[in-house]
Structures are given as structure tokens and as C-alpha cells.
A and B are shown apart, each in its own frame.
Chain A
Amino acid sequence: MSGTTSFFSSAFLAALFSSGVRQSIPLIYGSVGDTVSERAGVMGISLEGEMLFGAFFSYLFALRTGSLWTGVLMGALSGMLSSLIVAVWSVLFRQDQSIIGIMFNILAMGFTNFLNRAIFGTSNANISIETFQPITIPGLSKIPLIGEIFFHQDILAYLSVVLAAAVFFMLRRTKLGLQLAAVGENPRAAQASGIQVYRLRILAYMFCGFAAGIAGASLTLGSVGTFTESISAGRGFICLAIVILSRWDPLAAVAASFGFGSIQALQIRLQVQGSALPYQVLVALPYLITVLVLVLAGHNIRAPRELGVPFEKESR
């Protein structure tokens, strides 16, 4: 290749990281939601499925009502309602979260495909909707490089950071945050101190579903403008990894999501530049890095103690 593009030119970097930001949006929503539910002890294996619900219903309602915001709202609500299935089964019935999650994902994929065909027939690609457009933040967008990367994004991108910050504040500074942590660390003690363990876990999980629904909406309404089958394409699982890497910290999750988005963006650009690496290596890169970081970070990563463990109230 003639090497027409320098990897370090500011135009290239701006484009690369701007794409990284765009690709991180669904990851941020998903991982922030999952952070909350994992803090309370419930794992979001079913994020993938909730994203699919969110993606489908946000598209459906945006198309039918002509309003993107109605779409986002309905996407979030559908993610939340569907997550209720997982919440009830794993918290109330105290069944294995990984099994419920996997089953739910299968159900979600089958169900959204089924609805997609029932409503739109075999061809809905024709019905494309106008997506959210980038908003330039006056002033900030003038900062060289940084402005171009971070302050020329669509509204869902800005909101994702706001959400992460709000969750950060909630976890650190509010009673609710403390209660969530108590429920995830030591539910027995939490119960003894009068916290409604089940209620909190279910609510936390519903929040996760809500966020995952927006993540799905960001795919259909923020990027593609239509729903295609299995559009979540494994992003829910990446979110799980991000939550671990960010050590259950929502702001760190934003950074980690941005990292993953940028790796994906870089992966594409390496191929455009004619990289000799087999594409499989590049596609597997995010997963490899996750496992690698898990090893390198080693013992420093400490999950909420009761993560994934169903809570059993004292039975007599």
C-alpha cells in the first residue's frame, strides 16, 4: 500500500476516535446498566437479549410515531419490561442467572425476528428512518482534536455520559447506592438492617434492562436507521467484560467502552490500510484483550461478593 494516510495525522486520529465514540455508545448504556445490577448482585448475561428488544421496539415506535424520542422511550421500556422476566426468575425464584440469561437471549432473538417478520414481512430494510444527527457543542467543539472527537456527537452519546455520571453519583453519594452495595456484598446483613433485598435487586435489574433498551435504540435510531435481525451482534457480552474491566465503576465503564469502541474503529482502519494480519485476529481482538486484562489485573479485580449468587432468606 502506498501509505497515503499517516496514522498520527490529526485528521486520522480525530476520525478514528470519533468513530470509537460512536461505537462505544451502546456499550456505555449497556455497561452502566449492568454496573448497577451487578452491584446489587445480579449479572446481566441477558443484556444481549434486552438490547434486541430495545432495538426492535425503538425502531417500530419511531417509525410509527415519527418521533425518535418516542422510539428511544419505548425501546428503553421494552428493555425494562423484558428484563422483568429475568429479574423475577433469577431473584425471586433464585435460579441460576447464567442459565436464565442464555435462555432469555435465545427467546429474545427468536421473538424479535418473529415480530419483525410478522409486522414488516421479509423486507423492512426499505423503511429507513432519519437517525439522530450529530450536535456540535458551541465553543467546546473548537478545541483541536478533542472538540472534533467528543463534541460533535449525537444526543445519545452526550446522554450516555450524563447517565454514567448520575449513576456514579448515585452509587457513591446516596443512600440508595450504599444499599445497592450492601445487597450485593452481604445481602443477609442488608436484610437484617431492614433493606428489602429482593425489591432492590429487581429494581436494579430493571434499570439494567432500561439502559440496555436505550443501547439497542442507539443501534437502530443512532446508527443504522432500521432494524436488522440479530443487530446486537454480541455487544451485550462485551458489556459484561467492560463492567469487570472497569471494576464496577460507571465512569471507568465509559472509558473502557470508549477503549473497546476505539479498538473496533482501529481494527476497521487497519484493514482499510491493508494490514497483513488475518482479519480473524482483528475481529477477536476485543475478546482477547478482555481475557488478557482479566489476567493482568489479576487479584486487584474484586467483584461484588454475592454477584450471581441467589439470595435465600432465612427459612425456618
Chain B
Amino acid sequence: MSVLTEMSASFQKSVTHYRGASGIRKAAILLLSVVAAMLIGSLLILAVGADPLEAYYYMLLRPLSSITSIGEVAMYFTPLLLVGLGVSVTFHAKLSNLGGEGQMLFGALGMTVVGVPPVGSFLGIWSLPVGILLGILMGALWAAVAGFFRVRFNASEIVVTLMLNYIAEQFISYIVFYPLRSGAEPQSAKIACALPKIYQGSRINWGVVVALILAAVYGVMIRRTRFGYHLRALGGSERAAEYSGVRKKRYYFLAMLISGAFCGLAGAIQISGNTMRLMEGVAGDVGFSGIVVAMLGSMNPVGVVLAALFMALLSAGSVTMQVKTGIPASFTSVLEALIVLFILLGMAVSAAQSKRKKVNTAR
């Protein structure tokens, strides 16, 4: 058992040191972890009898080979980035928002309600900004439910957000089945106004620009505002933060609210930039992949952008990979999970070395 203790002790030191490590070093660690996960992934690929190099080419490079396919990557990138940012906000306060899925659905509902007739035909082009704002609001409100329960009743936000996902899913199913149903299929009517495209030959739309700007806003909020400072203080040490006058409950609630707003926006963009109608499954597990994005980007704004890009490539490339190599597309999710596990491992191992080095130089 002392082996366990020692192992863990070295890990915990290393993680602490990882947090203090330089950006470049962190990036190197993340990269190495991804590579390690991909190597393990290669074994699985070989087991199916396919060629790993070929598979990874189709997964990661092929999606960048034409403007059209870059546009497809952007379609995945935008919601992943937004949810990743949202989840990051809660991570800073040591909260876990696992309800991105439900919050996206409510954001999508917000967009749809003002986008479809009668409201949509009345608002016309204005339904787009109004819908996006309403989407943000509804996503925030749905997350606020969990935030409120957390601060008022001390109910674990992890469990509540998970439950709220199921409820949101059934609620949306009900909405498209009855009140917003248009025609035979259980789906809403088409929304009045789509997000404008950046370039006509591809599906890429301005949502991606909005998301990138928000990544910058997020960075400023976390690093340069008092709110962000307090949030991080709370994540660092609850008690110390409280001593220095941070109102814990308020910050917990606000963190959930903001997180939900990001996810709600992702849902609104999913409708106005992708499906054009509300139907079941529009969130498409992005709420969960967004957690990976936040992790992979270690909550750093640039990191989250890069992580979202990487995950978007995986999603966009998985279909081509399956077509060309016969590896089931679900392999992508296994790879995602492996990557996260390896990042956690990589962080620790690498920082252990850095620690050793530091000790040596100190001498």
C-alpha cells in the first residue's frame, strides 16, 4: 500500500506543479498525451484490421482538404467551443456543469420559439438576434435551476444537471410532438431567418466568429476582471476565498448562470446555423464533448479554442474514416475518452519530472 501512497503523492505534487508550469510546457504535455492516446487507439485500429496512419489521416487532415469540408469542421467547432467555454467557467469555481446537453436544448428552444410562425413571420430578420438572445437566456435559466438548488439546498450540481438533461430531453420531445409540431414529422416548422454564411460555397456561418469573439471575452472575464479573479480564488481554496470576502453562493450561482448562457447560445446557433428546425437530438452529445474540450484546453481561452478545433476535426473526420477504413465511427468517442485519460496522466508524469529538475537546481 505504501506504493500507492507514494505513487499518489508524486502525482499530487506533480499536478500542483503542472498548474504552475509554463504555457509551452503545458502545451507539450497535452500534445504528448494526445499522441499517447492515439497510439493506444492505433492498437484498436489494428485490431479491426485497418491501417492507423490512414485512419488518422482521414480523421485529422482530410477534413481540412477543401473549403467545403473546412466549413463542416466549423459546424462542429462552434457549439463545441461555446460549450467548452461554458463548462470552463464552472470548472474555475470547482463546480461541474454536466448539464450542457439540456441547456443547449433550451437554447435551441429559445431560438425556435421566436423563429417559427407566428412570431417568426412577424419579426422577420429580427427573429435571429431576438432568438439568439432568448436562447442564451433560456440556457442560462435552465442552468440557474441547478445553480439555485446548489446554493439554496446544497444539492450536488453534478446530479441535478444530469437529471435536468433527461428532463430537458423529454420536454423537447414533448414540444416537438405537440405544441410546436408542424406537419406529420415530430419537428418544428422552419425558422424564419438563418445565420448568414461567411462564404457561399460552404456551410461556415458567422456563428463561428461569434464563438471566437466570446472566447476572447471569456479570457478577459476570467483573467482581467474582479469576477474572474474571485471565481478562480473560489476554485483555488474555498475557505481562503471566503475569508477574503468572496460571497461563495453568489459566485456559484453566477458561474452556473454564465455557463448555461454559453450552452444556450450553442443551442441557438445549432438551430439557426445547422438544423433550421427544432427536433429531438439537436444537442447531439455536444454537452458532454464540451467537457472534454474544457479539460483538453485546461480552461485557457486559447487552449479551449484549439481543443474545440481538435475535437471538431475528430467529429468531422470520423465519417470519412469509417467510410475509407471500415472502423466504426463510434471509435471516435473511445478515442476521446482515451485522450482525456492520458492528458490527466500526462500532466502528472511530466510535472513530476519538472519537480525533480527544480529540486536539482535548487541544490
Contacts and interface: CB of A to CB of B under 8 A. Distances in A.
Direct contact between A and B judged by beta carbons closer than 8 A: yes
Given A102-B288, A104-B337, A295-B155, A93 B170 contact: no
Interface in B301-347: 328, 330-331, 333-334, 336-338, 340-341, 344-345
Contacts, number: 148
B30 to A, nearest CB: 15
Contacts of A175: none
B158 A98 contact: yes
A103 B337 contact: yes
A106 B336 contact: yes
B12 A313 contact: yes
Interface of B: 1, 4-5, 7-9, 11-13, 15-16, 44, 91, 96, 98, 149, 152-156, 158-160, 162-164, 166-167, 169-171, 173-174, 177-178, 288, 291-292, 295, 328, 330-331, 333-334, 336-338, 340-341, 344-345, 348
A102 B11 contact: no
A302 to B, nearest CB: 8
Nearest to B174: A280
A66 interface: no
A288 interface: yes
Range for the number of chain A residues in contact with chain B: 35 or more
A9 interface: no
Question: Main SS of the interface on chain B?
Answer: helix
A114 B43 CA distance: 14
Interface stretch (A143-151, A180-188, A234-242): A234-242
A92 to B, nearest CB: 4
A43 interface: yes
Contacts of B4: 92, 198-199, 202
A284 B156 CA distance: 20
Given A89-B344, A281-B174, A291-B164, 7 more contacts: A45-B158, A94-B8, A96-B96, A284-B166, A291-B167, A298-B152, A307-B156
A237 B166 CA distance: 10
A240 B11 contact: no
Contact of B288 (A106, A117, A307): A106
Contacts of A244: 155-156, 159
A281 B170 contact: yes
A110 B338 CA distance: 11
10 contacts: A45-B158, A93-B344, A94-B12, A94-B15, A107-B338, A110-B333, A237-B166, A291-B164, A315-B9, A315-B13
